Amino acid sequence: MCRHWLVITENGKQVTGVQEPRLVLVSMMSKGEDLCLNGPSMEELSIPFKQPKNAVVNCRVWSTDIQGRDCGDQASLWLSRFLDSGKTFRLVQFETHMTPRKPMKQYPLFSPRDKLAYSDIGAVMLLSEASVADLNTRLEHDVTTAWFRPNIVVSGCEAFAEDSWDQIQIGNVQLQRVLSCSRCAFTTVNPETGVMDRKQPLQTLKNYRLCDPSEKHIYKTSPLFGQYYSVRRRGTVHIGDPVYILSR
């Protein structure tokens, strides 16, 4: 599982970069026993990783109920001040004892053993640099892989080669491709400025990356860019590890 932190409204609804584009400017990192939040023109905020006395709240993530441990009033004030939209936001953390979401309930191609915390659809999303380079030949202004928020970025392959990698190994981790990543308006949020364009690169992707008509019941009218994978053998992945194609 991944994405164990989530920004929510006061009534527990998830907040993403679609609702609050400036959220993409917030960075998180660990320092010892603390979680540190940073953002432009903001002082760094350090809060403890573990706050067992804080309340566990019910959250709503993509029409699914899930819990989260509230990260405290300091984190709430920091986020609310940074986003500056007149609303109160809170930060919650998923803990291992909490019940995860099951992506197969929405997407039957996933296995019953696949689990999620706050990720959209799958825990691992892979995209190649070549696919982004291909997209840039069609755009007026270049984008980077950061516009698409992949967990794993692969270099040294042809554009959209990842679409045909059914089973791969990176380090000692084995991954199984499940389905393509359908794209929404979040791709139009510039990760460097936190400004939403609402047109590009999504509009261009719709011109040449729509699904086969036989798969419209899965993807509808969303363009496809990147692939979701399930972890079939756990282990460790390092930057620079080679990618081995086990089957296509």
pLDDT in tens, 168-209: 999 999 999 999 999 999 999 999 999 999 999 999 999 999
Cβ contact 110:120 at 8 Å: no
Average pLDDT over every residue of 60-83: 96
Instruction: Give me the torsion for CA of 79, 85, 86, 91, rounded to 10°.
Output: -30
Which pLDDT band, with edges at 50, 70 and 90, does 123 fall under? confident
For strands 152-154 and 124-128, give the pairing: parallel
pLDDT averaged over the chain? 95
Residue 1 has pLDDT above 70, yes or no: no
For CATH 2.40.33.20, the residue range(s) in the chain are 123-247
Give yes or no for a cis peptide into 40 (omega within 30° of 0).
Answer: no
Average pLDDT over every residue of 37-47: 97
Average pLDDT over every residue of 16-31: 95
Which tokens belong to 80?
Answer: 């609310």
Residue 67 has pLDDT above 60, yes or no: yes
3-state secondary structure (DSSP) of residue 106: coil
3-state helix, strand, coil in the chain (%, to 5): 20, 30, 45
Residue 14 has pLDDT above 80, yes or no: yes
Tell me the backbone φ, ψ of residue 133, rounded to 5 degrees: -60, -40
Residue 7 has pLDDT above 60, yes or no: yes
Nearest-CA neighbor of 190 among 207, 202, 206, 181? Answer: 202
Q: Which residue has the tokens 């009033």?
A: 73
Which pLDDT band, with edges at 50, 70 and 90, does 2 fall under? low
Instruction: Give me the torsion for CA of 173, 134, 179, 210, rounded to 10°.
Output: 180
Helix (H) or strand (E) holding 168: strand 167-170
Residue 127 has pLDDT above 50, yes or no: yes
Strand order in the sheet with 34-38: 27-31, 34-38, 45-48
Q: Domain 123-247: which topology?
A: M1 Pyruvate Kinase; Domain 3 (2.40.33)
Query: What are 9's strand-pairing partners?
Result: 89
According to the model, what pLDDT value does residue 215 have? 95
Task: Give CA–CA dist 174/230, Å, rounded.
Answer: 9
Average pLDDT over every residue of 135-147: 98
Average pLDDT over every residue of 78-105: 95
Whether pTM > 0.95 for this model: the answer is no
Cβ partners under 8 Å of residue 49, min gap 6? 30, 33, 34, 35
According to the model, what pLDDT value does residue 3 have? 86
